[in-house]
Structure 1
Amino acid sequence: MIEKSFVMMKPDAVSRRLIGKIMSRFEEKGLQLIAVKLLQVDEELASQHYGEHKDKPFFSGLVDYITSSPSLAMVIKGDDCISVIRKIVGATNPKEADLGTIRGDFAMDTGRNIIHASDSPSSAEREINLFFNSNEIFDYEISDQGWIYE
């Protein structure tokens, strides 16, 4: 099933100049980038994005972290892409993430774990709508689609 997911390279990925390396992992897998935006997340957007954690002791640290420097927000499309992206990204705790995953290769600490990826279709829809207007998402055909999907 073709679906869309939200992915965000967090401030540590942007500041460490890992955008190209990370983005290429999704493209090389055959996933399609249909929206990309470099942005400075403000406190209001951060609070909405991390709203499910608002009563947890680490909430203010999450907000401080995500608002500290620019992030790169993306919408990615592909067959079962939410679960595929989560496998590419790796475990939330980078010390438990397999080598070969983004977090396993580039991160050391849960508090600086490089990247966010939606965990369900409902989260993807909510997060996409938080970060993108419909006119910023480009649903187009890719020329090598026949080589990626049967």
Structure 2
Amino acid sequence: MERTFLMLKPDAVQRGLMGEILGRIEAKGYKPVAMKFMRIPKELAERHYAEHKGKGFFPGLIEYMTSGPVLVMVWEGDNIIMGMRSMMGKTNPQDAPLGTIRGDLAQQTGRNLIHGSDGPESAKREIELFFNDYEIQDWKRSLDPWFTE
């Protein structure tokens, strides 16, 4: 099973959308293996978004991501990285189809509710930034045979 890193951003937390978003992910059949409610320190936010350093929006992004609590998570599932990218919708909610998290619940790129890894390498890097091995649970769910063959 593939794993991915997901983060419900400060706007999702402040707007009370954690349950709605988590429910969609869980209903899809993906399995949570780690979750942590936290306020990201500035240094960690800068490392997480290091590929954007030097871009004009970087300081505002770091300020926003450290402005309140977030929910960081590791989820597991068959082809979950691509599946979650599809569920989230495009980065700009105006371009995200209805039925996606961003298409249904977000209005602006700068407040698009959720982050998800864009590939296996970034998933590994992001998971290692936010979680220790002992925080990630390896568990069997009795419903698993009903989601995948």
TM over 0.5, shorter chain: yes
- Equivalent runs, 1:100-119 vs 2, <5 Å: 100-119=99-118
AA matched with 1:144: L
Identity %: 53
Q: Deviations over 1:57-78 (max 9, x none)?
A: 1000110000000000010000
Partner secondary structure for residue 7 of structure 1 = strand
Distance in 2, Cα, partners of 1:19 & 1:132: 20
1:31 pairs with 2:54: no
Residue 42 of structure 1: how far off its partner (Å): 1.0
Q: Residue 8 of structure 1 aligns with which residue?
A: 7
AA matched with 1:45: L
Q: Residue 90 of structure 1 aligns with which residue?
A: 89
Partner secondary structure for residue 95 of structure 2 = coil
Residue 55 of structure 1: how far off its partner (Å): 1.4
Residue 16 of structure 1: how far off its partner (Å): 0.6
Q: Residue 146 of structure 1 aligns with which residue?
A: 145
Partner secondary structure for residue 104 of structure 1 = helix
Distance in 1, Cα, partners of 2:36 & 2:15: 17
Distance in 2, Cα, partners of 1:14 & 1:139: 26
Partner secondary structure for residue 95 of structure 1 = helix
Query: Unaligned 5+ residue runs, structure 1?
Result: none
Divergent runs of 4+, >2 A: none
Distance in 2, Cα, partners of 1:90 & 1:97: 5
Q: CA RMSD in A?
A: 0.5
